[in-house]
Every structure is written in structure tokens, then in C-alpha cells.
Structure 1
Amino acid sequence: MKRKNNNTKYINFRKEYDFFEYQSYEINVEDRKLNIKYNFNLSNKHDFNPRISFVIPDSFDISEIYKGKLNNLVFNIGMIELISYWKAACPKRIIIRPHKLNLDQVNWWKNLYFNGLGEFFYLNSIIVNQDDFVDIESFGSSTECDNFNLDFKKVIVPVGGGKDSIVSLEVLKNAGVDVYPMMLNPNPARIRTINNADLKVDNNFVVNRRIDKQLLVLNDKGFLNGHTPFSALLGFTNVLLACLNGVGNIALSNENSANESTVPGTNINHQYSKSFEFENNFNYYIVKYINNKLKYFSFLRLLNEIQIAYLFSKFPWHFESFRSCNVGSKEDKWCGSCPKCLFTYLILSPFLDKKTLIKIFDKELLSDNDLIKTLHELSGVSEIKPFECVGTITEVRASIKNLLLHTEFKTENNILTSVKGLIGDNEISINELVAAFNDKHNVPERFLQILKNAIYD
């Protein structure tokens, strides 16, 4: 992605729009659906009303909702939802009306907003620092932790339709774990993932989120736009879902590779809210301010992308149905031209033959010269990695090294020749990466053994 020089626009917007207000949240129950509407306001000039809805299980006493049982959970989803609308003009003041935040909470949210918007600030060339980019003022009553009956034999697994959540679902299911797949705004790839995993229909959790279209109108008018920490929103959404349904574990599918910065030498990370740093910060907040028993962890954190690709190769019934391409997602296809497509091809190549890969992507990506620039970015030949959820330079180079050793993938027009002389012979091997485990994770012992057994099987 090209950087834009929007720092002057940022400064001018902050002069014109001096505050953003989280006015309230509204809870409505209808036909055992929990419908939530958030009321945001940008400097008395623009109103936003995003919505999110959950199915209420029969086991949950609806009267508890009217007593405020879910208020803290609902409020905190609004705290992360608001950042998508705040970033349109980036006002200096954020006013929180529904509940009072203490200083620790204010600093926690400022840290998330700042780091989660790192890519947004970078690509817009906005000069900012964490101390003074925003002031958070809050009013109302304080929130408190609440007790929910949680079953720690049950696990929620968010499903995105890609290989990572497929690996989590299949490995946990095969180990006899009571798995509850979660879909936020279901699409065909997510639905296929659950169907192909042959999981109980009754165990599926569906959450529907709707952004306010006024935000899209402002984007078209030239207001500021860019990446937000979506996985943080997913985290708070799953916490409410877990408490509502009495599920004690939330198992994400974020891997070790999510910790690598997108821009070398900085903390700018496209995947910040998938990183181990955020996972630890999130757990701190959940334990202290929401529920001190709920387990939130990334099941795949101890793995690298090569290990995940190796496990994925054991589930061929998902090969033609999974999708990780953001560009082609609306048409339910691989675009075959983006960093995500090329990266996925590269890391699967040690475990799948060329014919299978071409069938998945509907083309031979290594023969597409338009992907040379992308290959250079993924492999670290270029200075900056793509702003996508892709793995590390080490993983990409190991995959390239492995491909160069196999005649099956060699053609006259192969784009790998463009990096052949730029990647050393001393790159780590695929076998070494398959055997390498990351020791920085929060995976409970029970699940740790399940994952290691799957690798060694």
C-alpha cells in the first residue's frame, strides 16, 4: 500500500472536529435475540449508530439482562467499536458517557487505540505519539466484574474461513473437545468450514454486526480512513458470547508469526491485535474488569505458519473450500494477485503438490510476473512487508528455498528466479520450522498436549 501525506488533513480535522462522544448503548431483546445499538457522535455534526446482535440461549435467564447483567460486556464492545468512527477525523477528545473509567482503564484503551491504529497512522503519514494523541474523559457509574457460570470443558473457536481456524477446529474436534464455532457475519467460506468439519449445528454461534453507512459516506468525502484493530473487536465480542452461553474457553487461531512488525525497526504491526503482546494485555483487562475466570488464548500461538500449513495439509476436504484472500472475499474466490494469495501458496507448497495448488488458486501463481514485487516484499528483499496478515520473512524464505530444490515447480518464467541470488543457502529449512515451537504462549496444558500430539502424529 502506498503512503499518503495526510498529516495536514489530520491537523485540520482535529481543529474542525474537537470531540468524539460515546453517548450510550441500547439493549433490546426480541425473539431471544440480544440486539445492541451504539450511539456515537462526532462533534455534534455526524451521528453513528452501529449495531450488533447475538442469539440468547434457552439456558440464559432473560430477566438478568434487564437487571444489567450484560451491561459491562456490552459497554466494552462499544469502547472498541468506536475507534472505527473516531478515526474519520481523529478528534483530540473522546468523551465516554455510559460508564466511568479509572486511570488504569483509560491508559489501557489509549494503548490499544495507539498501537491498533499504528498502520493507519503510518500509511496516512500522521505524526503522533501515545501520550497526547487523545484525551479520554468518562462519566457515569463504574462497571464491575460479574459472575457467570462457565463450563471449562467447552471452547469457542472463531471461524474466519481460512486455514488457521480450520486447523484449530479439526485438531480440537479430533481430540474430543466440545467445540463451539463462532461466526461474525457468516459468509460462504465460514459456513463451508463448519460444514466440512462436520460439527454439530446446535453448537454454532452466529453474531451479526452492522456498521453505520454514514461512515462510508464520510470515507467517500475524503475523511481519514484505514486499518483498525479488528481482532480486538472480535475478542470483546467473544467474551460476551462466552458469558452469555456459559463457555469457559475462547481459543483464537493467531500464530507466532503475528508478532513480527510490518515495518522493520518499528512497532507498526498490521496484526497488532493478533499479537502475543495484545493477547496478554487483553487478558489483563478481562481478568481485572470483566471476568476473572474466563480463559482467552490463541490455540496456535506456539506454532509458526509452516507448522500450521503442515497440519492443514492433513485435512484435504477443506482444500477447495477455504479462503484467506481479502481482495476476492466478496466474490468467494482467491484473486490470485495479492500478498495473501502468494503467501498462502508459498507456505502450502512444501506439503501440497503443484497440481493441488493450481486447483486451489485456479492459476499457477509462480508464473505471474506481476507478483514479483509482492514476492520481494514477503521475502524481505524489499524493506517493508505487505500490510496483510502474512507470516514472517523467515517462513517465506524457507518456503522459497524448498521450492527451488524441486524440479516440479521450476519453469522458465518462474518468479522465484528474481530472488534466487538474494536469499542465502543458510536459510532455515522447512523441517527445522516444523520442529520449532514457540515457548511464549498462554495455551493451557490440556490444549498444549493436544496440539503437540497433532504435530507429532
Structure 2
Amino acid sequence: MNNTSKFNSLRHEFQKFIYEGFSYTLINNSLSIIFDFYVDNKIEFHPQIEFQIESYYHFEKIEKSNLENLIFNIGMIELISYWKSMAPSKVIIKNYKLTDKQISFWKKIYFHGLGEYFYLNGILPNYDDFLNIYSVGHKNLRSFDVETDDSAIIPVGGGKDSIVTMELLKKFSKNNLALILNPRGASIFTAEVGGFTNRILKINRTLDPKLLKLNAEGYLNGHTPFSALLAFVAILAAAATGKKYVALSNEGSANEPTIIGTKINHQYSKSIEFEKDFREYIHENITSDIKYFSLLRPLSEFQIASIFAKNPKYFKSFKSCNVGSKTDSWCGKCPKCLFTFIILSPFLKPKVLEDIFGCNMLQDKSLENYFEELTGISEVKPFECIGTVDEVNAALCLAKNSYKILPYLLQKHQNYFGNDYCQKINKNSLLAKISNEHFLEEKYLQILKSELNEKN
């Protein structure tokens, strides 16, 4: 699809995106926020975020200016979901006066976080002028102190990765809290199975209906960096609950580009590059008392799958399928389902996998195109949160040991890659390697090393 002409036409018609401000209401232990965005004087958006009532929140302990700092930053990442519809060249920030360094941080997130949006719309943006940020307010962002304990907030999405983080961090603290943004069946069920029934922070994000209307009318649409929004929401939750850590579940595989030979990455806001920039931004502009990191960063999807497979209590409740998220099911027809089936195949018997997914996906000929994308036969990976091409191929090589007669897609893999490729795969070596590219404190790194030693 080439929407370059539409992109240019909309930028001509709509020239300014204005972040006017926000309002918020504190009632008991809940926080409701409404953001105010305007496009010229023609369109306005008012998305909402609600931190549901929870006894763990102590918003009263956060000074007004500091709470507004936290809220403002959530609005800065929320706005990009609305900017993308018309892509005005100017973004006007009314509340605060941002420094050049702060503006650079936001511009980088917007540019790389919208990489998939630009690619799928056939737009070739110029970093210097795809948008320019002007802040005309008088307030400055200042770092403040937060009193914390030594436990963590764990964002939970209902998939295997956050389950592994929940399980591993139980060994370190019993006071961790699960955070769920837009709760659904799998996210709630997995948190409850993990023992967090009375320790779940539920947060609702409500899109302005006008955005959906514009999408239906043919305005520009595409992926935005959701994990960056989650990061800022989690920092506010950590400040309000007094938690020292926000422990994400982003693995090393998230660093691999979706389009080979480019920097376009569906998972940019899960990458080590974003994590580094975000940690620095939080330290300088919000608080140095809350530490944001990904526990699983040193691990591969292969290693995470090996740990998850040892926790059968989650097999019925976990879900990673975006297509089936509203019905809390595996659709069995998307690349995310196929990837999850493949990466678990070296560690679970075919019958167990069939019970989880409802079928043996490696037998499904209709998934052949996705299979080629996942294995690198095609140059473009699916725009999903999935592992690397090498991890997929290693898992498929090892999965062959579970079959006397290879399913259709495994036979295709055998025909394309041959025996020599798979003979080089060493399962123990793949399970043992821990990357040095991470921000884990030593105590957390030791948890991972201990777990992998146990599993080997």
C-alpha cells in the first residue's frame, strides 16, 4: 500500500497537533485522567486512562506537581496514537517547557515507534522534518524522590513471557504486584493462577471514539509503540504504590528488525535501545528511585519457552494471540499462534500442544506463508512480537525429534534446510547462553542463571 499522497495531503490540510493539557480526578484510591488533544481547530480528541480503585495506591503521598509530571508524560506517548491519523508537521505542547534533550527523546520514540506504520503505508519519512515539537508552556520537568520498598510491579499481558517473570520474581519478593492495562481473560487468569488474585492493579485505557471513526473513513492508521505507553503507566503505578522496580518481560529477540536489513522493528518499544533511553529519561526527568528493566532481556525466546514449559498450571489460561484476544482463545491461524506453537515444540509433546492450541498447527498448509516469514525463507518477518529467525529454525529442528512422520510444515523445513543445518543445533548450548546486553542488577541475574542451571 502506498499512502504517500494521502500522507502529504493530510499534512497540508492539518498542520498543527496540539497537546492542550489534561484533567484528572482522585477519588478514594482511584485516578481518572482525561487528555485534551486538538488538531488545528478542526478535530479534538479526549482519550482516558483510569487507575481502578486499589488499596495499594497512595496517590496522596505524591505531591501535586509530581503527579502532574507523571500524567503529562503518559499524555506525551498517548498523543502519537492520534497524531498518526493526519500526521501534522507541528506538535505543540502547551503545559510544559521541554529541553532540547527531552524533545530529542520524544522525537526518537515517535520515529522508530512508528516504523511499521510508515512502512506499511508506503511512507518514506525524513527524521528531521516528519514532525517538529514546539513546547510553549512554563513548567519544567523535574526529578523527584519516591519512597519505595524492594519489590516490583510486573506488567502482565497473559502470555508466556510475563508468566515466566511472575514465577521467577516470586523467589525474590512476596510483595510484587501485577499490573494489567486493559484487563482481559488471559491476563487476569494468568495473574490469578500465579497467586496474584488480590494483588492486581487494573488500568483501563479508553480510546476516543473519533479515532475509530477516522480510521473507518480512511485516515491514516497503523501500529504505535504500545509498550512505551505501558512503561509510562507502570512508572506512575510504581510511584503510587511505592515499588522500586518495574520488571518487564521483553527478551533479547525483541531487538531483531522486522524487515531484514533495516531498523524497522514492530517491537521497537520492547528493544534494548528503547529500554536504555527510557531509563535515562526517567532518571533525569521523573525519579531516580524507580528502576525500569526487563528481567528476560538476557534470555532468548527459546530459553523462555523452556522455563514456561515447566509450569503446566498455566497451560489452560495463557494466551498470546492478538486475533483471539477478545474471545480469550487461540485463533490457530495467525503468525503469533504459529510462532508460539513452534517455540514450545522442543519442550512439550505434540499431544500437549494440541490440547493447548486445539490442533497441530504444523499440519496446517494454510499457514505456509507465515511459516516462510518466521523461518526466514521470506525476507519480511510477521509484524508481531515474535522471536528471531534463528530461534524459530532451532526450535523446528529439535521438534522433529518428536515425530516419526513429519507434519507438513516440518517436512517443508526439512526439504528447505536439509539435515546439515539441524545437525549443528545444540539444545544445551542454546539453553545455557546468557546475553550481556541487559540492565539487570546482580541479584536478578543470579535468578536467571540459577533457573537455567536447574532446567539443564
Query: In the alignment, residue 405 of structure 1 is paired with which amino acid?
Result: N
Q: d(CA) in 1 for partners of 2:196 and 2:56?
A: 21
Q: Which residue of 1 aligns with 2:452?
A: 455
Q: d(CA) in 2 for partners of 1:398 and 1:139?
A: 53
For normalisation by structure 1, the TM-score amounts to: 0.95
**1:148-182: CA deviation from partner (whole Å, max 9, x where unpaired):** 1111x211110000000001101211444432111
Alpha-carbon shift at residue 64 of structure 1 (Å): 5.5
Say if 1:94 and 1:137, in contact at 8 Å, map to a contact too: yes
Q: Which residue of 2 aligns with 1:157?
A: 154
Query: In the alignment, residue 271 of structure 2 is paired with which amino acid?
Result: S
2:107 to 87, 105, 110: 110
Q: d(CA) in 1 for partners of 2:55 and 2:341?
A: 44
Alpha-carbon shift at residue 29 of structure 1 (Å): 1.3
Equivalence map 1:57-456=2 (5 Å): 67-140=64-137, 141-151=139-149, 153-199=150-196, 201=198, 203-408=199-404, 410-411=406-407, 414-424=408-418, 425-426=420-421, 427-456=424-453
Q: d(CA) in 1 for partners of 2:343 and 2:151?
A: 31
SS of alignment partner, residue 38 of structure 1: strand
Q: d(CA) in 2 for partners of 1:211 and 1:340?
A: 24
**1:270-328: CA deviation from partner (whole Å, max 9, x where unpaired):** 00000001000100100111111211100000100110000001110101110000011
Alpha-carbon shift at residue 65 of structure 1 (Å): 5.8
The number of residues matched between the two structures is: 450
Say if 1:345 and 1:357, in contact at 8 Å, map to a contact too: yes
SS of alignment partner, residue 65 of structure 2: coil
Alpha-carbon shift at residue 62 of structure 1 (Å): 5.2
SS of alignment partner, residue 24 of structure 1: strand
Query: What runs of 5+ residues in structure 2 fail to find an aligned partner?
Result: none
Alpha carbons of structure 1 residues 149 and 257: separation in structure 2 relative to 1, 3 Å = same
SS of alignment partner, residue 398 of structure 1: helix
Alpha carbons of structure 1 residues 59 and 419: separation in structure 2 relative to 1, 3 Å = closer
Q: d(CA) in 2 for partners of 1:276 and 1:72?
A: 25
Query: In the alignment, residue 254 of structure 2 is paired with which amino acid?
Result: A
**1:8-66: CA deviation from partner (whole Å, max 9, x where unpaired):** 10000000000100001101112331111000011211110001112466676655667
Alignment identity in percent?
46
Query: In the alignment, residue 190 of structure 2 is paired with which amino acid?
Result: T
Say if 2:58 and 2:241, in contact at 8 Å, map to a contact too: no
SS of alignment partner, residue 386 of structure 1: coil
Q: d(CA) in 2 for partners of 1:420 and 1:397?
A: 10
Query: In the alignment, residue 148 of structure 1 is paired with which amino acid?
Result: V
Alpha carbons of structure 1 residues 56 and 104: separation in structure 2 relative to 1, 3 Å = farther
Consecutive aligned runs of 4 or more in structure 1 exceeding 6 Å deviation: none
SS of alignment partner, residue 423 of structure 1: helix
**1:128-166: CA deviation from partner (whole Å, max 9, x where unpaired):** 121111110102121211111111x21111000000000
**1:235-281: CA deviation from partner (whole Å, max 9, x where unpaired):** 00000000111100010000010000000110000000000010001
